[in-house]
Chains A and B, each alone.
Chain A
């Protein structure tokens, strides 16, 4: 008898309908999630990007971008290479040849990926968020913004049909050069005070990227009412995913695409 009750309860919870979150895009954080223990591929690898884009219902990826010594853009998240790869030092201090030889310490030994080596034909109808690093961790100096924009321009991303490119910045001095170059800029903020400051100082900023825990639903509504795009990141657990979706952002940048799709649909 008790077994039947458990079975019926399971069926009931398994069939309950989620809210309608159709308008909210699902974006893979660092492709298939950042620092996910059981991820098939390492974050920010070409393989992870292609896997994320292939998941039914995934609307795009966010990737972390750093400039090499030769002035080209590479996908890598951490400040230093040692922890996750067989390389030593910082991306900014190594040449393209040196970076090409570096592999992640994973069973698939994915190679470090240059931004231009991604297959952009896979991005048709998708969103691409480029989280651009503005400093060099090893030497502590700022990256030359013109070099970043020059290498980005070489990719002609804006000419790719049906690709929605967003540049995520966290250094205000980079906002004007990027908007002047014609890129959509989304700025990382941590509270409403920063939202008010950056909206007034930089009206060209098209959207904001926020941590789920830093903003409540009312604040998200205020930002969206100001005609700014709003993207929420730092969401991993089902509870966190549900809370982010309930705030009705334009997209969630999630560390668990599959759990997010379950909550969305």
Chain B
């Protein structure tokens, strides 16, 4: 099924030396704004900054995200997506930073199968790219 969307949202991260753990909360713009159907996504993950300088941070990361969407408003069933991705993150700047990341990996979709009348699932590959602005406390 098609799930392509542009997500916007917030990310909260805590740094422990070279490690940064984070949580994210986002919504899909196409579905939520242009199709009036709320499409939330929550995620957690961790980045290990191999380059950890004042104005430059680069490192690999692992993240998991879950999103859900109801296609058919009169149904009780939601489609659920589980994403387990690895990728890389780059942060430029000191107090205010620009961030860039790219991730890819396993994408599992769970949905209600109208033929078998049971929950069903398909696995595929997924990817995302992310551009953000970071403020450091």
Contact = CB atoms under 8 A, between A and B. Distances in A.
Nearest to B116: A54
Interface string B58-98: 00000000000101111101010000000000000000000
B1 A14 contact: no
B1 A262 contact: no
A89 interface: no
A258 B32 contact: no
A54 B4 contact: no
User: Most chain-B CB neighbours within 10 Å: which of A54, A256, A257?
Assistant: A54
B31 A54 contact: no
B2 A16 contact: no
A107 interface: yes
Contact of B114 (A15, A36, A58, A258): A58
Nearest to A255: B2
A10 B9 CA distance: 12
Contacts, number: 93
Contacts of B73: 18, 262, 265
A265 B72 contact: yes
Interface string A7-41: 00011011110100000000000001100111110
Count class of interface residues, chain B:
20 to 34
Contact of B1 (A11, A18, A40, A107): A40
Interface in A79-104: none
Contacts of B136: none
Interface in A113-139: 122
B111 A14 contact: no
Interface in B85-119: 109, 111-116
A258 B1 contact: yes
A25 B74 CA distance: 15
Interface in A218-265: 238-239, 256-259, 261-265
A238 B30 contact: yes
Given A36-B2, A257-B1, A265-B74, A54 B35 contact: no
Given A40-B1, A40-B122, A259-B2, A55 B114 contact: yes
B77 A16 contact: no
Nearest to B34: A238
A37 B4 contact: yes
B120 A107 contact: no
B54 interface: no
Given A32-B2, A257-B1, A265-B74, 16 more contacts: A11-B38, A16-B36, A33-B2, A36-B2, A40-B122, A51-B1, A54-B120, A55-B1, A56-B75, A56-B112, A56-B113, A257-B2, A261-B72, A262-B35, A262-B71, A265-B73
